[in-house]
Amino acid sequence: MWSGKSKLPVLALICAVGLGACVNSNEVTPEQLKVMDQADQAVSSVLFDAEVDAATSYNIRKDGFVVIRFAETVPSDVYSTVVAQLRADKRINGVRAEQGGREVCVLKHGR
């Protein structure tokens, strides 16, 4: 069996390799960053124009897919219009929208 001292370097190596794998999976390439920035510009513009930027939160994935949540206070017609505009924008690779914890629109448009 291993002594307590000999286990420490092995455990440190295992932890270093495990942490290194986590860091590499979260890296964003320059191309992905460009896609994310373009999608972010599109989303923020649409939300601002519809005056719902304060009533939403969103996340842009590496591939330009948008996950967006609308507050309950956003009227359904505004919600539908905003989601349609986001899905029509070529800078966005897909949209998942929800309001009040419910997904109101189906996943993504075909591109």
CATH number (domain holding residue 72): 3.30.70
69 found inside a domain: yes
Closest to 42 (Cα-Cα) out of 93, 92, 108, 88: 92
Length of the chain: 111
35 found inside a domain: yes
Other CB atoms within a 10 A radius of the CB of residue 44 amount to 13
pTM equals 0.71
78 found inside a domain: yes
* Residue 58, Ramachandran bin (φ over 0: left; ψ between -120 and 50: alpha; else beta): beta
What is the tens place of the pLDDT at every residue in 8-58?
566 555 666 555 555 556 899 999 999 999 999 999 999 999 999 999 999
Confidence category of residue 102, pLDDT binned at 50, 70, 90: confident
110 found inside a domain: no
Confidence category of residue 107, pLDDT binned at 50, 70, 90: very low
53 found inside a domain: yes
22 found inside a domain: no
58 found inside a domain: yes
Which residue did the predictor score with more confidence, 77 or 10?
A: 77
Show the domain range for 63: 30-103
pLDDT of residue 73: 95
3 found inside a domain: no
The neighbouring-strand residues paired with 58 are 68
Confidence category of residue 105, pLDDT binned at 50, 70, 90: low
Total domain count for the chain?
A: 1
